[in-house]
Structure 1
Amino acid sequence: MRAARKLVPAGAAAVLAFTLAPAAQAQSPTPETAAVAPVSWAQRVSAQDRAYLREAHRGHLAEIAAGRAALRESRDRDVRGIAARLIRDHGRLDARLREAARRLRVSLPDSPSAEQRRDLRAVVARNGHRFDRAWLRLQREAHEHALWLGERQLRRGSSGWVKDLARDSAPVIRHHLHMVRTEL
């Protein structure tokens, strides 16, 4: 009986050592622990990573705004279908991006860039078929830029999380680009 009492604390210590050892060996926080990561870790996010997060976020906001404009202005069923898909997919991609930015302590802009807003205003000023064609061309350019942005992040970025965002968004953006090119 006494031997058993002595083994319980020793066994508990061994279990504790096994559960803490992997955490002590981890070199960077996981997404679950990043919310409590020290400021010094968040500072390791490179300027490239920050720029990607901000520009990709603006791109998502611009795509959502463009999708809403197409739903309001277009009478073409295919354009409206693409617009609804863009709103849904870019909303999901942006939710993931916003969460990563929050955990990495990167501030994000509140709206698309002035150039993106100006380009959308120019498209919305058109009517009917001319609107649809201009909208599709705008989407082609925006999605080509988004792919380039992601490729640049994969080459130059340092944060694995941010690279994962770029890598995971590429198939969605390629699919959007294919839909737009098919419709043009």
Structure 2
Amino acid sequence: MKRFIYVCSIGLATLAFQGCSSGPKDAKESADSLNKTKDTTSNEMATGGIAVDESDSKFATEAATGGMAEVALGKLALEKSTNAQVKEFATMMVNDHGKANAELMTLAQTKNITLPADVDDEHKKKMADLTKLTGANFDKEYVSAMVDGHEKTLKLMQDEAKDGKDAELKTFASNTAPVVQTHLTMIKKIHDSMK
């Protein structure tokens, strides 16, 4: 019964937040809003509380969104790319980010953090744009997107590793940052070889 009340409270809180917003939210924004309602300082009894600071939960949702996007874009590249280096990199994205996503999901569950179920609108648009391209045009745009994405993800991981408040999320970020750095170095080499 307690669990039923908890689930209903979360559902009502989500509807209330969605009703108050001026427009539809993407998956990341919805997860961030839901995590905000779990704030232990105001309504732990109704929501079950969240075991981390708001900045740590935002890190988790952003990292999850980026990780899901890397996997989805990697799968797209495996289908559409004609470049062996790009395909090799895409395989690494699916494997490495898939593993990191699973680790983050497990960690988030222990902290009662809601992660987005899908990528945000920005990544959906990028995927839609890439889907329209073929051959060398696809490869060039995919590689460019991977450089940009990995630069942002590396900064995200480094910032959390340095400034995060939750020890386990900090450790996750510290362990993930070198992998992201390796990806960034590799994709920059591929990018430079395509000029």
Band of TM-score, shorter chain: 0.7 to 0.9
Cα distance in 1, alignment partners of residues 151 and 127 from structure 2: 16
* Cα shift readout 1:62-82 (whole Å, capped 9, x = no counterpart): 000000000010111110000
Cα distance in 2, alignment partners of residues 100 and 166 from structure 1: 12
Alignment of 1:97-112 (within 5 A): 97-112=104-119
* Contact residue 48 and residue 156 of structure 1 kept, 8 A: no
Cα distance in 2, alignment partners of residues 181 and 112 from structure 1: 24
Out of 112, 123, 136, the position equivalent to 1:116 is: 123
Cα distance in 2, alignment partners of residues 158 and 114 from structure 1: 28
Q: Helix, strand or coil: the match of 2:187?
A: helix
* Alpha-carbon distance, 1:44 to partner: 4.3
* Contact residue 64 and residue 91 of structure 1 kept, 8 A: yes
Cα distance in 2, alignment partners of residues 159 and 150 from structure 1: 13
Letter matched to residue 174 of structure 1: Q
Which has the higher relative contact order, 1 or 2, with Cα contacts under 8 A spaced 6 or more apart? 1
* Alpha-carbon distance, 1:42 to partner: 6.0
TM-score when normalising by structure 2: 0.71
* Contact residue 51 and residue 112 of structure 2 kept, 8 A: no
Q: Helix, strand or coil: the match of 2:102?
A: helix
Q: Does 1:81 align with 2:88?
A: yes
Cα distance in 2, alignment partners of residues 84 and 171 from structure 1: 18
Aligned to 1:7: none
Out of 61, 70, 85, the position equivalent to 2:68 is: 61
Aligned to 1:181: 188
Gaps of at least 5 residues in structure 2 are: 1-43
Letter matched to residue 135 of structure 2: G
Cα distance in 1, alignment partners of residues 184 and 70 from structure 2: 12
Q: Does 1:139 align with 2:161?
A: no
Cα distance in 1, alignment partners of residues 50 and 171 from structure 2: 19
Q: Which has the larger radius of gyration?
A: 1
Gaps of at least 5 residues in structure 1 are: 1-38
* Contact residue 62 and residue 116 of structure 1 kept, 8 A: yes
* Cα shift readout 1:33-66 (whole Å, capped 9, x = no counterpart): xxxxxx7996441011100111100111000000
* Cα shift readout 1:123-160 (whole Å, capped 9, x = no counterpart): 22111101001000000111111011112212331100
Cα distance in 2, alignment partners of residues 171 and 150 from structure 1: 9
Q: Does 1:70 align with 2:69?
A: no
